[in-house]
Amino acid sequence: MESIEKALVLKVGRFREVDAWLKLFSPRKGVFNAFAFGGSVSRRRFLGCLDPLNVVTFKVKSDAAKGYTYLLEGALVRAHPRLRQDQERLGMAVNCLKFLEAVHLGHPGSEAVYDLTLETLDTLEAGGNPCGLLPLFFRARMAFDQGFRPDFTACARCGVLLDQAPPPSLFLVEQGRLHCSQCRRWGKGAAAILGGEALQALRDLSEHGPARWADMSLPARARGEVARSVDLFVEYHLGLTWDHGSFRRF
């Protein structure tokens, strides 16, 4: 069966001198592997396509009997040249993509995740100075978009609007709820303290796209609060923790 897939190239490997295998992420198929036979020598069929971080429209053929997918030809939609040359930006992009792979193996219907990933890469490519926490922001947003979006506006116990209550609030990670400072003592389970700036940052993350939060600057204390709460949240809801350069599922 043949189809047209717009996909982000996550990884490229070469084998048998002229052939290549790719790990791709498309909004329709999720993360999947495909072969490009003759891909390393065919300038006509895959001109400039077979590099990580490229967005490519591929003509794809799936062979159900043999259980694999291969690429017939590709047309480059856009590359991210600045990302590839800037070690700091590249490091952040790779971290985001590792998380995407760890969370999102082969899920179909990935439009929202695909859009978030592309917007994040485009912002890293084009934007000003990205915040060092960008990969963490990406993880938070991915977790929120998987159906675990907490309510950052009101206290889950008394209903007071959190931006009108005195800080800090308590983020109850397991329930995805917040308690105001008055109701903190009724919170149970894993929890993180959020001052006013950290709360506002998490609200921005849940409501806006990467163009809005990629260069967010936060004071040290708020950075610590956001980092701790996102790590706890991702660990609890997605079962992933960052360990020696890769995400580990436990």
Taking the least distance from each CB to Zn ion, the nearer of 112 and 158 is 158
Smallest distance, Å, CB 212 to Zn ion? 28
Contact 11, 36 (CB under 8 A): no
Stretch that binds Zn ion, among 13-21, 144-152, 154-162, 187-195 (CB under 5 A): 154-162
Q: d(Cα 10, Cα 240) in Å, to the nearest integer?
A: 20
211 binding Zn ion? (CB under 5 A):
no
From the CB of residue 74, how many other CB atoms can be counted at a distance below 10 Å? 25
Residue whose CB is less far from Zn ion, 55 or 183: 183
Instruction: Tell me the HSE value of 159 on the side-chain side, using a 13 A CA sphere.
Output: 0
155 binds Zn ion (CB under 5 A): yes
Closest separation between CB of residue 231 and Zn ion, Å? Answer: 25
Identify how many contiguous H helices and E strands the chain contains and give both numbers. Answer: 7, 10
What the block records as the tokens of 209 is: 């796209």
Nearest to 144 by CA among 205, 198, 200, 92: 205
Quick check: 180 binds Zn ion (CB under 5 A)?
Answer: yes
2-to-46, 74, 205 alpha-carbon distances in Å: 17, 13, 38
Give me the least distance between CB of 227 and Zn ion, in Å please: 25
Pick from 157, 184, 228, 237 the residue near Zn ion by CB under 5 A.
Answer: 157
Interface stretch with Zn ion, choices 51-59, 61-69, 141-149, 176-184 (CB under 5 A): 176-184
Is residue 6 at the binding interface for Zn ion, with CB under 5 A as the rule?
Answer: no
Examine residue 158 and tell whether it contacts Zn ion (CB under 5 A). Answer: yes
Binding residue for Zn ion, selected from 183, 194, 216, 238, defined by CB under 5 A: 183
Distance CA 96, CA 50 (A): 20
Interface with Zn ion, residue 191, by CB under 5 A: no
16 contacts: CB under 8 Å, gap ≥ 6: none
Shortest gap between Cβ of 12 and Zn ion (angstroms)?
52
Binding residues for Zn ion, per CB under 5 A?
155, 157-158, 180, 183
